[in-house]
């Protein structure tokens, strides 16, 4: 009989703990308190602590509750999701927010075989519109919406 009863929950909790330790390490140089109040390191350390607690809880549950056996890895979703993030990173400055978000969503949706192109396209267009409205119009971030060749210099 295995000691770990739910490997999926156990591995997820372990991952959360490792990321929390990384966040603790990266936020070490930031002061949590200053003379006038909370410092810049307070919130990252607080979130890392909460994530560590959630991860520890999940590891504990992984030992206590029976769960499903882990499924074998599927390469298509892994590769396409990573490719979509890479596409977004490469195109956001050169091609603008609209093109980057539409590409991100279309490539990501290709990772799921059950998603039709029409569904993906509607989601991509709506995501791009919401992103442009939220980040550029409401928040006023200086992100190019369209490629510079279309903006009319």
- 50 and 105 within one domain: no
Structure confidence at residue 73 (pLDDT): 82
List Cβ neighbours of 116 (8 Å cut-off, separation of 6 or more).
Answer: none
Residue 111 within any structural domain of the chain: yes
Give the Cβ contact number of residue 34 at 10 Å.
11
pTM, two decimal places: 0.64
Task: Please identify, among 26, 44, 64, the residue that sits at the C-terminal boundary of a domain.
Answer: 64
- 79 and 60 within one domain: no
- 43 and 23 within one domain: yes
Domain that holds residue 23: 7-64
Task: Give how many domains the chain has, as a whole number.
Answer: 2
Structure confidence at residue 12 (pLDDT): 93
CA distance 59 to 22: 18
Give the Cβ contact number of residue 20 at 10 Å.
21
- What does each of the 153 residues of the chain score in pLDDT, given as a tens digit? 468 888 889 999 999 999 999 999 999 988 887 777 788 888 899 999 999 999 999 999 999 988 877 778 889 999 999 999 999 999 999 999 999 999 999 999 999 999 999 999 999 999 999 999 999 999 988 888 988 776 655
Task: Please identify, among 20, 44, 64, the residue that sits at the C-terminal boundary of a domain.
Answer: 64
Residue 70 within any structural domain of the chain: no
């Amino acid at each position: 009989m295995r000691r770990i009863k739910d490997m999926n929950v156990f591995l997820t909790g372990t991952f959360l703990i490792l990321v929390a330790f990384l966040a603790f390490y990266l936020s070490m140089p930031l002061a949590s308190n200053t003379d006038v109040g909370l410092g810049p390191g307070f919130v990252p350390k607080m979130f890392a602590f909460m994530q560590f607690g959630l991860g520890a809880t999940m590891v504990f549950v992984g030992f206590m509750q029976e769960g499903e056996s882990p499924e074998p890895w599927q390469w298509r979703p892994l590769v396409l999701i990573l490719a979509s993030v890479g596409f977004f990173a490469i195109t956001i400055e050169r091609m603008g927010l609209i093109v980057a978000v539409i590409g991100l969503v279309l490539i990501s949706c290709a990772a799921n075989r059950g998603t039709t192109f029409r569904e993906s396209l509607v989601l991509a267009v709506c995501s791009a519109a919401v992103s442009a409205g939220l980040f550029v119009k409401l928040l006023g971030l200086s992100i190019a919406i369209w490629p510079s060749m279309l903006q009319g210099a």
